[in-house]
Amino acid sequence: QSALTQPASVSGSPGQSITISCTGTSSDVATYDYVSWYQLHPGKAPKLMIYDVSNRPSGVSDRFSGSKSGDTASLTISGLQAEDEADYYCSSYTTTTTLVLFGGGTKLTVL
C-alpha cells in the first residue's frame, strides 16, 4: 500500500504557525485514531511528538498539536522556532497487510 500523503515541504517565519497534513484512506486514518507524528533531525534519534491523533507525550512543547478530520490528520506547530526546522512524518495503523504506514515526510523550513 502507498504511504500516507504529506506535502513534501512547508515553511514559515519565526513566530508563525504552520500545519502539516497527512491524508490516508478508510483503511487507516479515516477509521482509526492510531495516528502519530515524529520529528527527525539529521543524526538524532527520531522523536515522538503526537500520539493517538492529538495527545502530546510528556516533555513535548504545547506549541505542537494534532487533529483529525475524515481521512486527514494534521500537525500544527504554533510560534515557530528555529529549532523546529526538521523533517516530520505521520504514521497510522492500517488494516492492509502493511499493518503500519508512514507518510512520505514533510521538510519544515523556518525562514
Partner 1 sequence: QLQLQESGPGLVKPSETLSLTCTVSGGSISSNSFYWGWIRQPPGKGLEWIGSMSYSGKTYYTLSLKSRVTISVDTSKNQFSLKLSSVTAADTAVYYCARHKIWGNFYPNWFDPWGQGTLVTVSS
Q: Interface with partner 1 by CB under 8 A: which residues?
A: 3, 32, 34, 36, 38, 43-48, 51-52, 57, 89, 91, 93, 97-105
Shorter beta-carbon distance to partner 1: residue 13 or 59: 59
Strands 86-93 and 100-102: antiparallel
Minimum Å gap between C-beta 61 and partner 1 is: 16
Minimum Å gap between C-beta 80 and partner 1 is: 23
Minimum Å gap between C-beta 100 and partner 1 is: 4
Alpha-carbon distance 69 to 105, whole Å? 19
Residue 5 DSSP code: B
Helix, strand, coil shares of the chain, percent, nearest 5, are 5, 50, 50
Alpha-carbon distance 53 to 47, whole Å? 15
Shorter beta-carbon distance to partner 1: residue 12 or 103: 103
